[in-house]
Amino acid sequence: MMTELFPKNKGQGRKFRPGAWLCRTVLVFLMFLSLLHPVAARELSPQEEAALFSLADLGPVDISPKKLVVEVFISPDPEMAACHRLLPGVWDRVQGFYGRLGVYLEKMEGGPQPGPLAPAARLRVEMLTHKDWLARSFKAFDVQPPFRLRFLQVCRDKCAFAHLPLSVVHVSFKRFQEMEFSAKPGDEAVNRDWLANLLIHELGHLLGLYHAHEFVNDPIPERLPDGKTPNFMSHHIASRTDLGCLDFQKSLMHSYLGRGKVYQQYAQVNFDPLNYLKLIKRHNGYREPGAAAKAPGKKQGRQGAVKTYDDDDADEDD
């Protein structure tokens, strides 16, 4: 009721001033918009840039538990029936993995259109038909019609893209199902776990992490120190074993979610992962593997074709 919201002035009580209330409301709204659309970063001096993008010292990292809203949208297309059936079990595994790292994912049912997404605040996962996945990938990468055939060639064996600037993961469930799912009776649990691993990996990109095979001399190997457990940011995620995470990756993730140094690094490059990689390579002395060394980061699909799953590889055939 209006009288409850704006009580009448009594005695020396403060009078309600509509103008002041409206100003405060607008200010709060503008502050919210600033989270969704960060102000362009100022240009740094070479010394400032080197200090910011050094990963040798992340500074104070708040590793307290953090909650993160994730919208999950599944296309209503009839061919997505298997996805609707599997996703509850898939999401339980995804939540369990990140919960062990102190990141609690709050799932919200997403509609056809995204809500107010923002880096490190509100993310979205879209499970799509292959046709819809291509259409949204064209839009996300701003691929104009003359270049779409080339794009189709580059991503012919890909099933998912994580778009950090958009805070969205797009998954071609149908393509993933056709290429990876086992048709053996009783293997639905295997298919569920495989899909969960894919989402765990892709969400890792939206939490500020890069591929484990990106550099040969950084602190992130493709397998954990036991030599067996696959790193969740490697391409060894088609595994029946649980995925693992290094303490260093956990620190990177919490620094990002807690608006610490890693978040500031990404904000400086407007959440462009390619520019981010270029700068951490430059200022940490990291080296990229050669073409031969990258091969183990790929895997044989069910049909025997070498393939990858997201947008980190430079699949240029020129």
pLDDT digits (tens, 9 = 90+) for 241-259: 789 999 999 999 999 999 9
pLDDT reported for residue 185: 83
Cα–Cα distance for residue pair 159/272, rounded to 1 Å: 21
Residue with tokens 């659309």: 37
Cα–Cα distance for residue pair 299/201, rounded to 1 Å: 15
| pTM, two decimal places | 0.81
Tell me whether residue 35 is in a domain.
no
pLDDT reported for residue 46: 96
Q: Which of 286, 310, 287, 283 is nearest to 298 (CA)?
A: 310
289: domain CATH number is: 3.40.390
Cα–Cα distance for residue pair 179/173, rounded to 1 Å: 10
Q: Which residues sit opposite 108 in a β-bridge?
A: 71
Tell me whether residue 148 is in a domain.
yes
Tell me whether residue 301 is in a domain.
yes
Give pLDDT tens digits for 267-307: 999 999 999 999 999 999 999 998 444 444 433 444 333 34
Cα–Cα distance for residue pair 199/74, rounded to 1 Å: 13
Q: Which of 307, 298, 299, 297 is nearest to 213 (CA)?
A: 297
Residue ranges in the chain whose pLDDT is less than 70: 1-40, 239, 291-318
Residue 149 is part of which domain span? 63-307
Tell me whether residue 116 is in a domain.
yes
- 8 Å CB contact between 287 and 215: yes
Max Cα–Cα distance, the chain, nearest Å: 82
Q: How many residues does the chain have?
A: 318
Tell me whether residue 314 is in a domain.
no
Tell me whether residue 10 is in a domain.
no
Q: In 3-state terms, what secondary structure has residue 316?
A: coil
pLDDT reported for residue 275: 97
Tell me whether residue 39 is in a domain.
no
% the chain with pLDDT above 90:
70
Tell me whether residue 6 is in a domain.
no
pLDDT reported for residue 42: 87
Q: Where are the beta strands (DSSP E) in the chain?
A: 66-74, 103-109, 122-128, 160-163, 168-172, 299-300, 306-307
Cα–Cα distance for residue pair 97/223, rounded to 1 Å: 17
Report the domain count for the chain: 1
Q: Which of 146, 150, 173, 177 is nearest to 160 (CA)?
A: 173
